Structure 1
Amino acid sequence: MSTELRDSLIYDCNYNLFIVKTMLPNIRNIQDRQTAVRWLRYLKTGANTIDEMKLRNDFMYYLVLNVQEGTLKPPFDKPPLPGSSMISMANLLPGVSEGGVCDINPPKTIKSGDSVIAGGAQRSEIMRRSPDGGAFLASQPIPDVGAFCYLSVITKKPK
């Protein structure tokens, strides 16, 4: 297993995870929001091999699109089946045939430079103002429960 590829797939997943968590309030229906959180938990724990990680990132990409729109479409409109492998659910993805072969190649992550507009709102203020477009923040761990706080202290030399 290539460490560089593995790290890249983990980074992409974490970034999309951050985006989904940021945009969850776009989903007005509380039950749908809970279903999206169940999908997040499932996707965070269901990938051990490179192929599973790639598939997880495909699922995560489509989950980002659903949450961005504010409505969940199949397969995200129902919670993931407990104990089922991600490989067995590959045919549920849009553009994937019965054999699990993807007919289209979606991007694996929404890049930090992309203008993500969800529910009429632009990216968060901190992401827009960040010099790196939010790349540093996206790589940080995000708690399942509680708050995410970021503090920055910058000093300038006196003129």
Structure 2
Amino acid sequence: MCDMVEDLNYEFNYNMFVIRTMMSSLRHEDRKKVVCWMNKLDSCNHSIDEMRIRNGFMYSLTENVQKGKLKPPFTEDPPQEPLSDMDQQIVQTERPFISQQSLDSGSFLDAQPNVRCGAFCYLAVLSKTTEG
């Protein structure tokens, strides 16, 4: 149990360091949001489950900062109440580009799993009809 707390805190502090070193590339308003989120996440350490949720948010926040653009939920101030699972916090406001371009408006892709780490591969095999 103690090792788990230590590992979770190490991962959190590492991502905190990464964010601090890259924050200068963000717009001023985004930096303010990131600082608010880091302060919120820094206080989420009362249980193992809370620390796991905290680290999920921190990992995603780190990715946002590395890409130079914040996405929900980080575009808003952090909630005052305790954090719930990250997937429950994110509200999709725009459909992904691939869904917009697909023939079925993304219905097939929407039914597929969303991976947080790794990749989801999609292969389509189409046949061209020939006219006699």
Q: Deviations over 1:27-59 (max 9, x none)?
A: 1x2111100100000000022111111111110
For structure 1, the residue ranges without an aligned partner over 5 or more in a row are 95-102, 108-159
TM-score computed with the length of structure 1 as normaliser: 0.55
Tell which has more relative contact order, 1 or 2 (C-alpha 8 A, sep 6+): 1
- The number of aligned residues is 97
Q: Post-superposition shift, 1:86? A: 1.2
- Whether 2:97 is the aligned partner of 1:66: answer no
Contact 1:47 1:86 in 2 (8 A): no
The CA deviation string for residues 11-30 of structure 1, in whole angstroms up to 9 with x for no partner, is 00000000001110121x21
Report the equivalent of 1:9.
8
Q: C-alpha displacement at 1:88, in angstroms? A: 6.5
Q: Where in structure 2 are there 5+ consecutive unaligned residues?
A: 92-113, 119-132
Q: Select the structure of larger CA radius of gyration.
A: 2
Distance change (3 Å), C-alpha of 1:5 and 1:105: farther
TM-score normalised by structure 2 residue count: 0.66
CA RMSD of aligned residues (A): 2.3
1:106 is displaced (CA, Å) by 3.8
Aligned-partner SS, 1:87: coil
Is the CA contact (8 Å cut-off) linking 2:36 and 2:77 kept in structure 1? yes
